[in-house]
Structure formats: C-alpha cells, structure tokens
C-alpha cells in the first residue's frame, strides 16, 4: 500500500495544512479517504491525477471532510471522465450527492454510485486481494472508521498434493484458486493442500472520534493506524465534548490494539506545530508520527517504514 496525506488539518485549515483527505493506492485501485475543501488542488500538488480515483470513502458528513466533493466531481466531468465513481459513506451520503449533482449549472457525464453504510460493523468492499471494512465510532454525528486489509492466499503445499495422488499441472492451479478437484473418484478440497491463513497488510483510518473500545478492537494488530489527535491532553474535556481524541489517548489506543505504527492527523489550528502532540503520544507509544500535508507512507511486506515528503 502507498498512502499520501493531502490534508491533515481539523475544522479550520492553516497555511501549511489543508482539510482532511488521504489517498491510498492498494492493488489495482486508487482510493480517497475523505475529501475536504481544496482536495483537487492538493491532488495536483502531489502530482496524482484525480482521473485515476476509483472510490471515495467518507467517514462523516462534517464540512471539513466533504466540502471538496462538489468541485472534484464537477472537475472530473470537465476532464471527460466516463467511468463510474463509487462513493461510500454514512446515511445521508446519497442525498448529499444528489444535491451536489444539481449544484449550479453543471452536467455530470459519468455515473456516481453511492453506497450508504447503515450497519455498525460491516464489510463494504472486497476483491481477490484486499477488502475494506467499516466500523461505527463515537463522534457528534455518525462517523465510520475504515480498515483496508490485504488478502493473502494460504501457501500451496505441493508435496502434500502429490502425496494425495494429484499430478503437477492444471489441477494444481484449480486447487490454488479455491476449487475442489476429483482424482480417482475422490474429491480433494483446497484446504487439504494449503497451509494456515497468512496475514496481509492492514491499514485503519479513524475519521473523527472520541476514544472507544470499538477502535481498539477494530485496529487490532494493524500495521498502520491513522488516528485523529486534534488536541493535547490538557484540554481533554473540550476534546471529548467536541467528539475528538487527544494525542495521549490515541497513543493508548495504538498500544492496546498492538499496532505497528501510529500516524496522528487532524491538527487543531490552535497549534502552529505538531511536535507537542507527537511528543505527548510518543511518551506512551514510541512508534508515532504526526502527519503533515504531502507526507507519503509506503507499507511493504508489513513494514511501514518509508516516510518521505513529496514537496
């Protein structure tokens, strides 16, 4: 997976931080997590073509997470997009998109497919090599965290297949793709010739939420947890009232969930720098970074160690 942070501010952007949006490249798809104001300009700055976007996942319907949608949707039409765009989000996302389609004088020449999430915990997308799950968190409005998880096929046990009388060839391929095969009147199932399940890369994005057990459970053993940390712990009461998490509590979530790397985001404009929040989190969970606009994170072989600045 390749993760690019386009916006890392909270409700009010700053000169250095745009509203929330994150691009994730996984397998053959390019995904946008949230779409704050000016996201399309941030895409241009990062040299990422918006035409390559396949899906947009919205965590919740607060303005700093959705106000980039109208401009992005219309710009894609101006550019001549003709393939569908999938947009996922909580209840109300369908009506929001209908309103956007009729905002001003614009013709949208491609299909926008909306997927409203209404369950507390569900799988919203799956293909052969990865899946995406949504989990309801605790904010002032319905907010979903998303988990993008690689699917790795179990190892094929070649010698075991041969011992069962299967000759190397097409039948091997069928078993590896999950099909039963018949040999001498006997049915051989894939699980008879494959090893235990293998863990794939797992990325979790919190959206906006107060600390909760649901997040710890959802982020269990994640390679990367991207979690909002809007404030420092000295204003924990204010953070909770506004449905947000402080840096220290995000770190405890990461520690309790056993994640590999914690990346904090959604910085309040009251802070000119993120070091204070990062240091607060590192006192609890050492492997913590506070994201900045145009930071890129590459996760390879379950090692989220490559962090660079695109600008």
Tens-digit pLDDT string for the chain (311 aa): 999 999 999 999 999 999 999 999 999 999 999 999 999 999 999 999 999 999 999 999 999 999 999 999 999 999 999 999 999 999 999 999 999 998 988 889 999 999 999 999 999 999 989 999 999 999 999 999 999 999 887 787 888 888 888 888 888 888 877 788 888 888 988 888 878 777 899 999 999 999 999 999 999 999 999 999 999 999 999 999 999 999 999 999 999 999 999 999 999 999 999 999 999 999 999 999 999 999 999 998 767 666 778 77
Q: Which CATH class name applies to 2-154+196-309?
A: alpha beta
Residues belonging to the active site: 64
Rounded to 5, what percent of the chain is helix, strand, coil? 25, 30, 40
Residues 225, 233: Cα–Cα separation, whole Å: 19
Look at residue 153 in the predicted model and tell me its pLDDT: 76
Cβ-count burial of 237 within 10 angstroms (0-12 exposed, 13-18 middle, 19+ buried)?
exposed
Look at residue 169 in the predicted model and tell me its pLDDT: 85
Residues 291, 4: Cα–Cα separation, whole Å: 10
Which strands form 29-33's sheet, in the order they lie side by side?
112-117, 85-90, 55-57, 29-33, 21-26, 2-7, 295-300, 303-309
Question: Which residues neighbour 206 within 8 Å (Cβ) at sequence distance 6 or greater?
Answer: 59, 137, 145, 215, 225, 226, 227, 228, 245
Token pair listed for 56: 């947009």
- Domain ranges in the chain are 2-154+196-309, 155-195
CB 225 within 8 A of CB 245: no
Token pair listed for 129: 């090599």
In the chain, alpha helices (H): 39-45, 63-66, 69-78, 93-101, 158-163, 170-176, 213-218, 236-241, 247-257, 275-282
CB 29 within 8 A of CB 128: no
DSSP helix/strand/coil, 199: strand
Look at residue 249 in the predicted model and tell me its pLDDT: 98
CB 97 within 8 A of CB 87: yes
Q: 0.95 cut: is pTM over it?
A: no
Look at residue 199 in the predicted model and tell me its pLDDT: 84
């Amino acid at each position: 997976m390749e993760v690019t942070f386009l916006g890392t501010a909270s409700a009010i952007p700053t000169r250095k931080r745009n509203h929330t949006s994150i691009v994730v490249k996984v397998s053959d798809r390019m995904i946008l997590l949230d779409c704050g104001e000016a996201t399309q300009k941030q895409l241009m700055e990062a040299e990422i073509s918006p035409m390559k976007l396949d899906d947009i996942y919205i965590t919740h319907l607060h303005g700093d997470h959705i106000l980039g949608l109208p401009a992005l949707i219309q710009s894609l039409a101006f550019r001549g997009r003709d393939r569908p765009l999938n947009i996922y989000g909580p209840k109300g996302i369908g009506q929001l998109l209908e309103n956007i389609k009729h905002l001003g004088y614009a013709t949208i020449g491609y299909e926008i497919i909306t997927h409203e999430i209404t369950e507390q915990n569900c799988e919203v997308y799956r293909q052969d090599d990865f899946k995406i799950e949504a989990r309801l968190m605790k904010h002032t409005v319905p907010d979903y965290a998303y988990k993008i998880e690689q699917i790795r096929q179990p190892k094929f046990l070649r010698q075991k297949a041969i011992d069962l009388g299967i000759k190397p060839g097409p039948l091997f391929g069928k078993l590896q793709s999950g099909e039963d095969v018949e040999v001498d009147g006997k049915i051989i199932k894939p699980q008879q010739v494959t090893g235990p399940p293998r863990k794939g890369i797992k990325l979790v994005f919190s959206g906006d939420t107060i600390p909760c057990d649901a997040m710890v459970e959802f982020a269990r053993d994640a390679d990367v947890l991207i979690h909002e940390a809007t404030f420092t712990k000295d204003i924990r009461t204010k953070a909770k009232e506004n449905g947000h998490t402080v840096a220290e509590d995000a770190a405890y979530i990461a520690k309790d969930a056993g994640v590999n790397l914690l990346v904090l985001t959604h910085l309040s404009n009251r802070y000119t720098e993120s070091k204070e929040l990062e240091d607060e989190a590192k006192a609890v969970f050492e492997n913590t970074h506070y994201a900045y606009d145009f930071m890129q994170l590459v996760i390879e072989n379950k090692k989220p160690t490559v962090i660079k600045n695109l600008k």
